[in-house]
Amino acid sequence: MTGIHRASGGALAQSVRIVEVGPRDGLQNEKGIVPLAAKLALIEGLVAAGLQTIEAGSFVAPRWVPQMAGTDRVVAHFRAGAGVEMPVLVPNLRGLELAKAAGARTVAVFAAATESFARANLNASRQDSLARFADVAAGARAYGMRVRGYVSCAVHCPYEGWVEPGVAAELAASLADMGCYEVSMCDTTGAASPGRAEAMAKAAITAIPMEQVAVHFHDTFGQALVNTLTCLELGVSVVDSSVSGLGGCPYSPGAAGNLATEDLVYMLEGLGIATGIDLDALAAAGRQISDVLGRRPASRAALALAARGPANAPRKDHLSN
């Protein structure tokens, strides 16, 4: 794939596919239950902004993550589809059956690179959870569903510290072997900076084909955008992000939200990389859910656009390069 060459020497892809995880990763850690109508409005806003892949929720145990109860109604609402892929997280065969009954067409399995995180997040050993995910993946494929994979703690674990890139990459290969069409390499705690992000991504693209690698950065130390750019320069072209920078994992204490989708889109536009996303419409969707949650968007781009207002906004063609 050819693309813009930056001074650093990295060749960037001409287009990047964004996997919007706001309705799932973004909301799962919210203490107050977000009303169904607000979740539907959020997804509608994201579809209107042009997002093509939107993670809609999770079929996990409601006692573990109460916010995700009701994902069946979210999926059922969008069942007719708008040509948009809406993966849902599934931890076991029970979740798979519930996802199928609701009408989901894509599921995501989420393995952990460390033993402690597997136990905290899935109440199972790393090996047992991987065996469960193999069953889920096989079952999903038998139903004709697509399966996405996550490697949590691909850089750093809240309980065990830094993770060897080779360990995370090996897990990515196991998920690809199960039939995952894509594996998202996650900096769950948001501890990575570009050197660690680069090592993690280099190991991943050695283990599985480049086009199957996605990256997923949390922004705890304000490094998510630069980490993402580092991976794009290695040739990665799929990025997870969350509108308004919402997010966090209940089992990763202290982790901040995900990379904000608005910030990602602004950067990609500036680099001349196509996303197919209307930044103003995206920022509006972010403001709407932030209002529901009673807080300001965490996205710097969204705040800057709001401060300028439509009349003073720079023309889009002035944003390139």
Stretch of 53-61, 137-145, 204-212, 281-289 lying at the interface with ligand HMG (CB under 6 A): 53-61
Tell me: does residue 233 bind Mg ion (CB under 5 A): no
Q: Buried (b) or exposed (e) across 29-42, using 16+ Cβ within 10 A?
A: bbeeebeeebbbeb
Least Cβ distance, residue 228 to ligand HMG (angstroms): 14
- Specify the stretch interacting with Mg ion by CB under 5 A; choose among 20-28, 59-67, 102-110, 196-204: 20-28
Which token pair is 192? 């990575």
Residues 279-318 that bind ligand HMG (CB under 6 A): none
Considering the rule CB under 5 A, would residue 25 count as an interface residue with Mg ion? yes
State yes or no: residue 123 binds ligand HMG (CB under 6 A).
Answer: yes
Report helix angle 279-293 to 300-312, nearest 10. Answer: 120
User: Could you tell me the smallest distance in angstroms from the CB atom of residue 184 to Mg ion?
Assistant: 9
CA distance 186 to 108: 13
Give which of Mg ion, ligand HMG, none residue 157 binds (C-beta under 5 to 8 Å, depending on kind): none
Q: Is 188 helix (H, G, I), strand (E, B) or coil?
A: coil
In the complex with ligand HMG, which residue's Cβ is closer, 135 or 278? 135
186 is catalytic: no
CB 197 within 8 A of CB 168: no
In the complex with ligand HMG, which residue's Cβ is closer, 197 or 279? 197
64 binds, among ligand HMG, Mg ion, none (CB under 5 to 8 A by kind): ligand HMG
What residues between 238 and 267 interact with ligand HMG by CB under 6 A? 249-251
Rounded to an integer, what distance in angstroms lies between the CA atom of residue 101 and that of residue 131? 23
Q: Taking the CA atoms of 203, 207, 212 and 217 in sequence, report the sign of the dihedral they define.
A: negative
Q: Which C-beta is closer to Mg ion: that of 239 or that of 305?
A: 239
Which residues, 55 to 114, sit near ligand HMG by CB under 6 A?
58-61, 63-65, 89, 91-92, 94-95, 98, 110
DSSP assignment of 254-303 equals T---BPBHHHHHHHHHHTT-B----HHHHHHHHHHHHHHHTS--S-HHHH
Instruction: Using the minimum distance from each CB to ligand HMG, give the nearer residue, 12 or 150.
Output: 150
Residues between 170 and 189 that touch ligand HMG (CB under 6 A): 186, 188
- State the sign of the Cα–Cα–Cα–Cα dihedral 210, 58, 196, 18: positive
Residue 152 touches ligand HMG, criterion: CB under 6 A: yes
Give the separation between CA 241 and CA 233, rounded to whole angstroms: 18
Q: Which of 67, 44, 43 is nearest to 55 (CA)?
A: 43
- What CA–CA distance (Å, rounded) separates 166 from 154? 9
Q: Measured at CB, which residue is nearest to Mg ion?
A: 25
- Footprint of Mg ion (CB under 5 A): 25
- Footprint of ligand HMG (CB under 6 A): 25, 28, 58-61, 63-65, 89, 91-92, 94-95, 98, 110, 121-123, 150, 152, 186, 188, 216, 249-251
- Would you please indicate which residues are annotated as catalytic (active-site) residues? 249
